[in-house]
Chains A and B, each alone.
Chain A
Amino acid sequence: MAIQSKSLQIERPEGDSGFDWLFSRRASAEEQERLAREEKIRDLLPDEEDNNVGRPYDSQLLGRLVTYLKPYRSDTIVAVVLMAIASLLSIAGPWLIGVAIDRGIRAGSLSQLRQWSAIFIIAALAEWLTNRYRISLMAYVGTKVVTDMRSELFRHLHKLSLNFHNNYSVGRLMSRLIGDVGTLQDFVTWSITGWTRSLFVIVGIVVAMFALNWVLALVTLAVLPLMILLTNYWRVRVRSAYRDTRTRLSLINGYLNESISGIRVTQSFTREARNFRHFDDLNRSYFDANVVATWLTAIFFPGVDFIGSLATALVVGVGGWLVLGDSLTAGTLVAFVLYVDRFFDPIREIAQRYNTLQATMAGCERIFHLLDIQPDLLDTPHAGTLPPITGRVDFEDVSFFYKPDAPVLHHVTLHAEPGDRIALVGETGAGKSTIIRLLTRFFEVTEGSIKVDGYDLRDVTMASLRSQLGIVLQDTFLFSGTLADNIRYGRLDATDEAIIEAATAVGAHDFISKLPAGYQTVVQEHGANLSVGQRQIISFARALLADPRILILDEATSSVDTTTEKIIEQALDRLMEGRTSFVIAHRLSTIVNATKIVVLDHGQIVEMGSHAELLAQKGRYYNLYTMQWAPQAEPE
């Protein structure tokens, strides 16, 4: 391994141990640190909406979880039955051995011995086979449920609006999709049949106990209320402890995700050590939350054991008294004590499963919470398909805000005829991109309406609208895959020729054909192995390939050199003949040829007209324009 560079070597907390809580003096210092840490991340937690959800009952959650088993109902039932058979067989095992010894050896019959031994091994073989089948069934169901739920969640996330995605970090979503969903696997695979077996065994033993001696049986059962009390007390706490661990894990994953995406900035500003400290705080807080959860489970099980022993002690006491009173034989008492012991085995198992259940529920809660978020931007029920359009666009008195207290657009009215090139200019933050987000229906207008070819956007399906738009977003985003794949994203059935044509139009063909693998060059995630300008022209080609009726360019060439830009412009004139386009650009050379230039200021249209008209007005646009060509303002 390479030598770790010195500057990146970061102090790790050392020397703290699991015994701290034993030594109160050190523990208090530890505790203080812990509190300080919690304080630091406190602000981050309320963001975790999941914490504030009304807490549904287990039964509700469980009921909902069970619906995921529905498609596999028959598999599950078969598995449960097999489990019952396997349990019977496993109980039969020792009994068969007993018979073999009694009838064979004790009675001195070799043939009986052979016979019963054979039966025993056959039973064991049958047990193996049933278990084999059962395990594969349930593991199948468990994995299916995980896949189903992940798929449902993933699909649901795609239905949610951009607004949702802007507010919910990918890292946290990933934490749900990988981590929380994963917790289901063990639960479905093992718990359902496990419960069956435990219940089966418990019933069997209770019956046996009552058959043996009902008084002692009642004595044994007398400790059960205690058990219920303990469980209830424990349940509430352990659930909230598990919930804490899951929120913290999600924080860790969110932060990690962001750290990776922003790594270039982090290294530029040498923030590694500080970021690690923050990460460590989160990591540590997750650890602490886990220690709490662990502590709770750790005290629960000895609690169960203790109650079990209490039952044994009671049975010995009461039973002994009965024996002395001659209403019970000593042998029965011994047998009974053994039963009591075995009675608590399945109960212990149930407790263990209950623990898994609590952990699963904490994960499920969060998944269901996400699934319950209603998409806030859906096709209306009466929405129809937008027929092929000519490209007329009308903004009628449109107002909009992202957050109620900060209106972004005010009464924007704007008309574009088919074939128009509309340029939007204005200061940064004036609302240019916002207008485009409304036209593409990423967001819904707050007031007024937008019509395309006379159809209100709300009356047509988003898919039919967007499939007729070609959009280059301000933040270029490329997918990993080949260059050809990326361009093809605009039209999935495009031929290679069409792709080359689109690439040529945006001046990308030259550089692509010089690459060793040409169009088959693999683009890394986010297009990391391309220059920013190259990414822009690729996403431009992608939009062109979509053969849109309306082309929307949000600073599509801001990082492209002027030569390439000229090429693109000529191509556009040709390709966009008779089609409508919206162009946002700061480089005014890009927009001088627009049919209509719209000058925005603080969300309002302040000027509108052709280049010549606006220049003649000597207003806002005139200022912008002269500014660009004016010699650099030389200070001093």
Chain B
Amino acid sequence: MQGKWDIYRRLLGYLKPHWREVTVAYVAMLIATVLSLLVPQLVKRAIDSGLSTGNARALMMTGGLILLVAIARGLVSLAHRFYGDWLTFRVSYDLRGDFYISLQSLPFAFHDRAKIGDLMSRVTSDIGETERFIGSGLMSLVATILLLVGVVIAMFLEDFWLTLWTLAPLIALVWVALRFGGIVRPLFRKIQDQMGILSSVMQESLTGIGVVKAFAREPHELEKFDRESDIWFDMRYQSIKVWAHYWPLFNFILAIAIFLLLWFGGPSALSGQITVGTLFAMISYSLMLNAPVSQLGFLVNMATSADASASRVFEIIDTPNEVVEPVDAIALEKPRGEVRFENVSFAYQEGRSILREVNFVAEPDQVVALIGPTGSGKSTITNLIPRFYDPSEGRILVDGIDIRQLQLKSLRSQIGIVLQEPFLFNATIAENIAYGRPEAPLSEIIAAAKAASAHDFIEATAKGYETMVGERGVTLSGGQKQRLAIARALLYNPRILILDDSTSSVDTETEHLIQAALAILMKGRTTFVIAQRLVTLKSADLILVLDHGRIVERGTHDELLARSGLYHTIYDLQLKDQEDFLALQRGKIDEEHVHKAMEMATSMAPEKIIER
């Protein structure tokens, strides 16, 4: 287990780079406190002397002096406030940045498990709780503690024995504060965790709003929401009862201190052991603590909730990243594009192996097709090549180098992948296509769009390439999204191209155009294709037939057909449908189409973009 104060120590680390602001803020705070303690004294003395001399000018001077001090006080308290809050927001800026960086570098496995809503609540709610404390909250806490210590010292100087009476309550005060912190800390952690759950429910329901509406399940979603929201409320209410109990208690403890002074100090004053003035001074000192102590509960609350929240933020920042490159990682430059799987086994979760002893070699420039039933592990194989996951056994080599030895960026920048589910960002069409190469000129973007046979529909939109596609590309049809995803991968100009079921939502006509264009663009690249349609497979150099994570057959189309294995069965299923087609006149493709496709593809022949 981590030490109790580790989180605070770490948070203080965030203040360190800003030590100058910290210094200014704290010094200003000290001066401001001292000034506000001194001013009444000054004023009183000034009035006394002014009045005793009966001098009108002296009075004016006093007035002026008050204003002067006020200006000085204003300036320091300005610095104190400004820098206090400045630190608040600066730390939250830094925290948010760190959070983002680690989110982005965490591997797929993390994101498979994570819930966006929960991550969102960490950023919104937890960073908010943390920032509130680390800037101005901490300053007030320090001020309160300093004042407490200062007053106790002053009291000791005034009268040692009397102070001892007040010491017990003051120690109790500190003890209660710590105890209070100890009680609410776990409560806060639970509340924030519950907030994460509640956010996930909200996030999920809003993301899947289409399905919710399609099944008229709004009531069900609201019920889920209410359930979590009620739990959150209950937890919060429980903590409320705790703080409602403790906060005013601090002032009561202080009152006890004063009471003890009166009760036990009073008789001494009566008997003349101490002067009434001394007793009066002691009580005034205690009263001075009233305001800060009434803040104490609030501050302790803030500190503990910051502790709970910050630990949730650090949890993400500290998540170990299993996909890391070694210190002496090799940069992959101008690879030939040979991909080799050696005895690769893989499991997403321990105990449920997905790939078993996969072995194959994709020679440079080959087209490798993966086929097999749903869930047989096709996408999984392609996910291993860019090292989105690490195999649990065996190794994967690109150009003969284990990819775990390579710099991640250099590896991934050689691989263009069209994921099975096209994801588009809420940006313009051009920005989406150029996602991997933001600096690409428009001409290349257009060439890529043409190759993916997307140019025509893009031109047909009102703003062309500048059209915003909406969140996740909602304003586009499924096939349009897929074609943009293809264009995006093509523009990336990778040495290794992975097409995961990338034309499943594209109509046959368009698919044909894309196929023709790809046939040209695949030249000079090692390509992995996953497709359910057999036509795509015919031209592959190597077909891997997967079943339950094993390669059960391999070879070219003709070789595989010659055997009567799984491939043959799959082929047969489609063959049956072909029968009535065969009755039609064979091979009549629209000449015009093929011609058009060729034209598109050659407009961005690989040589043209390779030398960028």
Contacts and interface: CB of A to CB of B under 8 A. Distances in A.
A177 interface: yes
Contacts of B77: 301-302, 305
Contacts, number: 586
B157 to A, nearest CB: 21
Contacts of A346: none
A299 B78 contact: yes
Q: What are the 9 tightest A-B residue pairs by CB atom distance, in nearest-first order?
A: A428-B479, A309-B70, A533-B374, A302-B74, A124-B255, A136-B244, A7-B409, A131-B248, A320-B59
6 contacts: A4-B105, A268-B386, A428-B478, A473-B214, A480-B204, A628-B508
B259 to A, nearest CB: 4
B203 A428 contact: no
A531 B508 contact: no
Contacts of A116: 262
B554 interface: no
Given A158-B221, A264-B108, 17 more contacts: A7-B325, A17-B18, A120-B258, A132-B244, A170-B203, A179-B125, A263-B108, A276-B97, A290-B85, A302-B75, A313-B63, A316-B47, A477-B208, A536-B374, A537-B374, A634-B539, A635-B519
Contacts of A563: 373, 569-570, 573
A180 to B, nearest CB: 9
Contacts of B97: 12, 276, 279-280, 283
A558 B92 CA distance: 45
Contacts of A283: 93, 96-97, 100
Contact of A324 (B56, B83, B244, B488): B56
Given A561-B373, A632-B538, A626 B435 contact: no
Interface stretch (A48-56, A388-396, A446-454, A463-471): A463-471
B483 A309 contact: no
Interface stretch (B141-149, B158-166, B177-185, B419-427): B419-427
A150 B229 contact: yes
Interface string B252-282: 1001101100110011011000001001100
A76 B479 CA distance: 57
B562 interface: no
Interface stretch (A29-37, A232-240, A253-261): A253-261
Given A3-B324, A466-B216, A267 B108 contact: yes
Contacts of A301: 77-78, 81
A286 interface: yes
B478 A560 contact: no
Contact of B325 (A6, A162, A309, A525): A6
Contacts of B114: 260, 525
Interface in A474-491: 474-475, 477, 479-480, 489-490
Contacts of B535: 628-632
B584 interface: yes
A18 B380 CA distance: 49
B578 interface: yes
Contacts of B1: none
Contacts of B476: 429
A562 B574 contact: yes
A403 B476 CA distance: 13
A181 B575 CA distance: 60
A252 interface: yes
Nearest to A163: B474
Contacts of B577: 588-589, 592
B611 interface: no
Contact of A274 (B200, B244, B318, B438): B438
A465 to B, nearest CB: 8
A151 to B, nearest CB: 6
B101 interface: yes
Interface in B20-51: 20-21, 24, 40, 43-44, 46-48, 50-51
B104 A275 contact: yes
B174 interface: no
A184 interface: no
Nearest to B98: A12
B507 A529 contact: no
Contact of B123 (A256, A440, A631, A633): A256
A140 to B, nearest CB: 6
Contacts of A537: 374
A312 B43 contact: yes
Contacts of B505: 428, 474, 555, 558, 586
A403 B461 CA distance: 11
A629 B89 contact: no
A96 to B, nearest CB: 10
A467 B597 CA distance: 45
A105 B269 contact: yes
A418 interface: no
B300 interface: no
Interface in A396-448: 402-403, 405-406, 425-429, 432-433, 440, 442
Contacts of A536: 374
A633 B594 contact: yes
A94 interface: yes
A480 B202 CA distance: 12
Contacts of A337: 43-44, 47
Given A105-B270, A330-B51, A428-B483, A263 B111 contact: yes
A305 B111 CA distance: 52
A489 B279 contact: no
A260 B111 contact: yes
B150 interface: no
Interface stretch (A63-71, A106-114, A571-579): A106-114
Contacts of A629: 535, 578, 581
Interface string B589-612: 110011001100100000000000
A487 B378 CA distance: 25
Contact of B415 (A19, A268, A624): A268
B532 A1 contact: no
Most buried by B among A283, A405, A466: A283
B557 to A, nearest CB: 10
Contact of A256 (B120, B211, B233, B515): B120
A124 B252 contact: yes
Contacts of A6: 325, 327, 329, 407
Contacts of A127: 248, 251-252, 255
A160 to B, nearest CB: 9
A135 B262 CA distance: 29
A499 interface: no
A598 B90 CA distance: 60
Contacts of B6: none
A586 B229 contact: no
A170 B206 contact: yes
A252 B374 contact: no
Contact of A2 (B258, B322, B457, B594): B322
Contact of A562 (B108, B112, B378, B573): B573
Contacts of B470: 166-167
